[in-house]
Every structure is written in C-alpha cells, then in structure tokens.
A and B are shown apart, each in its own frame.
Chain A
Amino acid sequence: MGMLNNRMNLFVIIVGLLLFLLPFIYESRTLLILLTQIFIFAIFAMSYDLLLGYTGIVSFGHAMFFGIGAYSTGIILHRMESTIFTVLLSLLVGILLSLVISILVGFLTLRLKSHFFAMLTLAFASLFLVVAEKWRTLTYGNDGFTFPLPEFLRDRTYFYLVSLTFMIAIYFLLKRFTESPFGKVLVAIRENERRVESLGFHPLYYKVIASVVAGTTASISGSLYVLSLRFVNTSVFTMEMTLDALLMTIIGGVGTLIGPIIGSGLIEFAHHLLTDLASISPIFERWIIFFGILYILTVIFFPLGIVGTIRNRISGKGKKEKYAKKTVAG
C-alpha cells in the first residue's frame, strides 16, 4: 500500500504540474473552459466520495450544499461590490452555512437506516429547490441572475489556475483526512457499524463530521461553479447535480478520491464530444443515458469503478475485491 501510495502521489503531482503548464503551452479557450469545469465537478464528486465511498452513506441530497455555495457567492457578488475580498467572503459564507446545515440535517437524519436517509436527504434537497424558486426577491426564482466578477477572475487562464489549485489542494486535504485515524474509523463504520459501536466509538458523531466535511467541500465547488458561469439559477439545487456526482463517483471508483476526478473528466469530456454529435442523431442529445446505463452496469459488475478495478489488477490482491464489494454493498 505504501509503495502504491507514494507512486500515486508522484503521479498526481506530475499530472498536476503538466496541467499547470498547459495554458502556457497550448492555447485553446474551449479546452481551458472544459478543464475548469472538470476540476470544479471533481471537487464536488470527491466530496461525495467521502460520504459514499469512505463512510458508506448514500445521500441523494448532496446538491443542497452545492447550491448553498452557489447562491452564497451569487447573492453576495450581486449585492455587494465585486472584489477579491467579497469573493473570499462569499466562499466563507457558503462554507459556514453548509457547516450549520450539515450539522442540523446530519443529527436529524444520520441515525436513520440507509433507505430512510437517502429518502430524507432527497426530500431536504427538494425543499431547498422550492425555497430557491419561491424566494424571488433574493434568488429571482427559476430565471436566476448574473453578477459581475472582480477583474482578476475574468481572465480564463487565471480562473483555470485557481480552480486547478483548489482541486489539488482539496484532493490532498481529503486524502490526509481519510488516511487519518478519524478516516479509518469512517471506513470501519462503512464495513461494520455495529462493531465500531461495540468498540466504544460513537458512529453518529463520526458520520456527522464526515457529512460536515463533505458538505463544506461541496459548497466550495458550488461557489467555483457559479464563478465560472457568472450566473446562478435554481438548477444548482436539482436532482441532476446529485446524479452527476453519483455517476462520476461510481464510474470513476468509490473510496479512491482519484476515481471521482477521473469520473468527472470522463463525463464532462463525453458531454462535450457527444453534444457535438447531436446533429447526427438526436439520441446524442440525451448523452447522459449512456452514462446511466454504464452506471448500472458498474454497480452490478464492477462495484469498484475504474480506478478500483485497475488498482486491484495491479496489486493483484483478491482480498481487496471483497473489501470493495462491501463498499457499495454496505
């Protein structure tokens, strides 16, 4: 594991450096925008992986935190002057709101069994969507609103670098978090919650902290997302957002952190390519259906996802197969 881990870190650092250099070597506006989008969704998907892959919690309402970050940033930049200071302030406000809400929702829902939890998070997220639609004075309802960006973020290259930095920083922070003793307890909860309890740990406390970390991370990705669009509307709270994170995490590989990044790249790239094909056949307009089918097949046949399956082949351990089957199997 240690060897694999070091090689992995090295790999991430090298790819990261290449990505940092990319805008100076190869100039393509479309590619920059696409990659920025990938980085932002990778952050969102990694935050989801913390819940699904590491702690074994299935939330269908993760878009709620994405949306909180998105609207915090949107509303603050729309109402106040647009400077570096207000951008940071808006990120912070999103994080704090997500913190409070994830604690409240967590204590209410995390003691429930997986079915009820999934259902209740779905319902909570739809409640946020309704609020965003109805509170027109603040959100302008379905239509949403645009807002100005401070000078330095208007440059696409600069924003690309900022998003990349965020993604890499969050990757290493979450990696550190999941490898800490705390993270080990989370994995233990996923494997066997009752046993963890009988060892004297309090699973609810650990699960709430996990959902707080996941929620605040998702909020950051939501903020970055609307910064990249300079626009926000109610779509940030929809089920589709949660589904995106779910597809990216499952297809990329649960419980790996690198998997969600690859999943994000795969889905965003495919989105880009397949939408171009829409002129050939309208079925490509509904490209997400391919990923839906791929997702179902992954859950049945490759519960480890891309990264997990490859990692398994390399290390050649049968032991891990069982372990990861449990990841998705609970």
Chain B
Amino acid sequence: MEQIVNLLINGLATGMLIFLLAAGLTLIFGLMDVLNFAHGGFFAWGAYSGIWFYGVTGQYVLAILFAMFVGLVLGALTEKLIIKPVYGNHIQQILITLGFMLVLSELLKVIWGPNQLPAHAPEWLSGSWLIGDIIIIKYRVFIIVVGLIAFFTIHFILKKTRIGLIVRAGVMNKEMVEAMGIHIQKIFMLVFMVGASLAALSGLLLAPYSGVIYAEMGMDFAILAFIVVVIGGMGSFTGSLLAAILVGLSGSFMAYYVSELSIAVNMLLMILVLIFRPQGLFYGKG
C-alpha cells in the first residue's frame, strides 16, 4: 500500500514536470507547425538560472519567478532570431532548432562549467509528512500542486479570454484567423514565450527533485515530452496533461517493477500511437 501510494505520487510528479514541458511544445506545434527541438534547452536553462538565483538570494519562490522570466526572454529571442528567419520551411526549422539546442546547452557549460551541480529544495519544502504508515515527501506534492495550478491557469486563459479564443482558433485553422484581421505572428510569439517559460519552470522544479542538474538534462527530458506530445495529440493542451500523467505513472511503476523496460514501454506506446492513431489518443479534447 505504502509503496503504491509513493509510486503514484512519484508518477504524478514526474508527469506534471513532463506536462509543463510538453504544454508549450504542443501549443507551438499546433499553432505554427513548428516542432521545437530546442525546447529542452529552455528546460535546462530554467534549472541552471533558477538554482543559481536561489543560491544567491536564498529565496526559492523568487528563484521560480526568475527562472520563468529567463524562459520568457529566451523564448522571445529564439522566436525572433532562430524560428522566424526559416519560418515555413519544415526541414530548415527542424535543423535549426536542434542546432540551437546544442548552442544553448554548450552555453550552460561555458557559464556554469561542464560538471553536474547539486540542487536542494528549500527548508520549508524538504522532509515529509507521515499520514498513517505512509511517508509522503513534501517536495513531490509541491510539484504536483504547481503543475495543477499551471494547468488550470492556462486552461482558464484558453477557454475564457479573448486571447485564448484566438489561440484555440489558430490551432484549428490559422488562415481563417488571419483572414479575420488578427496578426497571428504576434500571438505565436506570445505562445512561444509562455511555452519557453513553462519549460524553464519545469526545469527548475525538477532540479531539487533529482538532486543534480547537468547540461544534457534538457534533451533527456525533451524526449519524454515529445513522446507525450505524440500520445496526447499534437496541438491538444488537455491531451498533453493526460498523456503526461500516463507516461509519468507508467514510468514510475515500470521503474519499480521492471526497471529495464521503463523507457522502452513509453517508446513502444509512442510507436504504436504513431502507427495506429497518428492524431493522438486524446485528439479532439481541446
């Protein structure tokens, strides 16, 4: 029982982290057909800059905000300098975003050195609760809560505001939105920035969870996010949450019971989805 609850919480926490990364990826893709291979770079930059800021100021909440701000800035720069010049060319886009990923992670090594760095949760988030016989680690619950807050905030924006309406309409049919006189390029820039910021948030949240940060963490996690985007359906926001939880849970249970197979199972799931249901499992759910 205790084991199952813990695995459940682990899986949900990992799922939330993947969701934060995948949410931006899926919206960017849905809106502009851009598959951003540099997305993992924002994730790693969020982790490094946030942990650095936390080390300097000692304020974890401020560090979270700082990492998200770094994500926003990086997102804006990337969109302007990297994505825009090759807009509309799929192969160039794929090539250039991967190249940028390389530059982003090498830059991290230039600034913070090539070795792994330690990362710790703040005092008030360390330790655990004891409920009955079950030990629940605080930080993991914290990740789940932050993930849910992010999900509901964005969900609210997408469903209840004018800008959300435009984004949803753009995912469905961007030519039509443009024909209505809306400058979709600006909306795209905004979505790109928010997506990058969420990725940075995810990276910072992961740092104390895994205990160390390293420059390649971006790519490692981005692969999971790609899997989630495919399973959830490209462009589907809710789908990416459901798929992320699925991948997180299957990862945590598999890692416990048959650890060799954990990544293979998620990959297999993605391959099956791509072959039999390329629009994704949760396609059409918003």
Please report the C-alpha to C-alpha distance between residue A114 and residue B110 in the assembled complex, in whole angstroms. Answer: 32
1/0 per position for B100-111, CB-CB distance to A under 8 A? 101100110110
Interface residues on A, range: 35 or more
Name the interface residues of B229-286: CB closer than 8 Å to any CB of A: 230, 260, 263-264, 267, 270-271, 274-275, 278
Nearest residue in A to B262 (C-beta to C-beta)? Answer: A130
Name the interface residues of B75-112: CB closer than 8 Å to any CB of A: 82, 85-86, 89-92, 94-96, 98-100, 102-103, 106-107, 109-110
Interface residues on B, range: 35 or more
B166 to chain A, nearest CB (A): 24
B214 to chain A, nearest CB (A): 14
Question: Judging by beta carbons under 8 Å apart, are B107 and A120 in contact?
Answer: no
Question: Judging by beta carbons under 8 Å apart, are A289 and B91 in contact?
Answer: no
1/0 per position for A14-48, CB-CB distance to B under 8 A? 00000000000000000000000000000000000
Contact sample, A vs B, 19 pairs, CB 8 Å cutoff: A118-B35, A119-B230, A120-B274, A122-B223, A123-B226, A127-B263, A286-B106, A286-B109, A286-B114, A288-B106, A289-B106, A289-B110, A295-B99, A295-B102, A296-B82, A299-B96, A329-B91, A330-B89, A330-B90
Task: Please judge, given known A-B contacts A58-B94, A115-B35, whether A123 and B267 are in contact too, CB under 8 Å.
Answer: yes
Give the dominant DSSP class at B's interface: helix
B154 to chain A, nearest CB (A): 23
When distances are taken between beta carbons in the complex, the residues of chain B under 8 Å from A250 are: 95
Please report the C-alpha to C-alpha distance between residue A154 and residue B73 in the assembled complex, in whole angstroms. Answer: 53
Please report the C-alpha to C-alpha distance between residue A285 and residue B109 in the assembled complex, in whole angstroms. Answer: 10
Give the dominant DSSP class at A's interface: helix
When distances are taken between beta carbons in the complex, the residues of chain B under 8 Å from A130 are: 263-264
Please report the C-alpha to C-alpha distance between residue A152 and residue B277 in the assembled complex, in whole angstroms. Answer: 54
When distances are taken between beta carbons in the complex, the residues of chain A under 8 Å from B31 are: none
Please report the C-alpha to C-alpha distance between residue A10 and residue B167 in the assembled complex, in whole angstroms. Answer: 57
A210 to chain B, nearest CB (A): 15
Please report the C-alpha to C-alpha distance between residue A319 and residue B90 in the assembled complex, in whole angstroms. Answer: 22
B36 to chain A, nearest CB (A): 10
Question: Judging by beta carbons under 8 Å apart, are A114 and B270 in contact?
Answer: no
Please report the C-alpha to C-alpha distance between residue A295 and residue B102 in the assembled complex, in whole angstroms. Answer: 10
Instruction: Name 15 extra pairs, CB < 8 A, besides A115-B35, A283-B110.
Output: A113-B90, A114-B90, A119-B226, A119-B230, A122-B223, A124-B267, A247-B99, A289-B102, A289-B106, A292-B99, A292-B103, A296-B100, A299-B86, A329-B92, A330-B89
Please report the C-alpha to C-alpha distance between residue A116 and residue B229 in the assembled complex, in whole angstroms. Answer: 10
1/0 per position for A291-330, CB-CB distance to B under 8 A? 0110110011001000000000000000000000000111
When distances are taken between beta carbons in the complex, the residues of chain B under 8 Å from A126 are: 223, 263
Name the interface residues of A243-270: CB closer than 8 Å to any CB of B: 243, 246-247, 250
Nearest residue in B to A127 (C-beta to C-beta)? Answer: B267
Tell me if A160 is interfacial: C-beta within 8 Å of chain B: no
Task: Please judge, given known A-B contacts A118-B37, A300-B86, whether A292 and B91 are in contact too, CB under 8 Å.
Answer: no
